[in-house]
Amino acid sequence: WLTTVDTFQKKQLKMGPHFEMEMLDLEKKITDDMQDYQQISMTLKQELEIFDQNRTEEFKNNIHAYIAQTLIQQEKVLNIWETYLPIANNIDVTN
């Protein structure tokens, strides 16, 4: 829409009052283009907010799954060490 505004201003300087109809058309085009720009901007902002919310939720779910899996692995390691501890306690290291 900024290009249309620039074109409008240039034609207004060059043409003067003889071309009022063309000026009215350009003014309407400026208004329409500005509305389109604002609508696209608003839609894009909404889409980016939705994307950010989804990305945040997905990240949170992935972190939760990672922590749960890490906890399971740590429990397995603990069980292995608990099995090994009685054997280690019976090893004679005095010789």
pLDDT reported for residue 75: 98
pLDDT of residue 15: 64
Longest distance between any two alpha carbons in the chain, whole Å: 114
Digits of tens for pLDDT over the chain (95 positions)? 678 778 777 776 666 666 777 777 888 999 999 999 999 999 999 999 999 999 999 999 999 999 999 999 999 999 999 999 888 888 888 76
**pLDDT value of position 1:** 67
What is the gyration radius of the CA atoms in the chain, in angstroms?
35
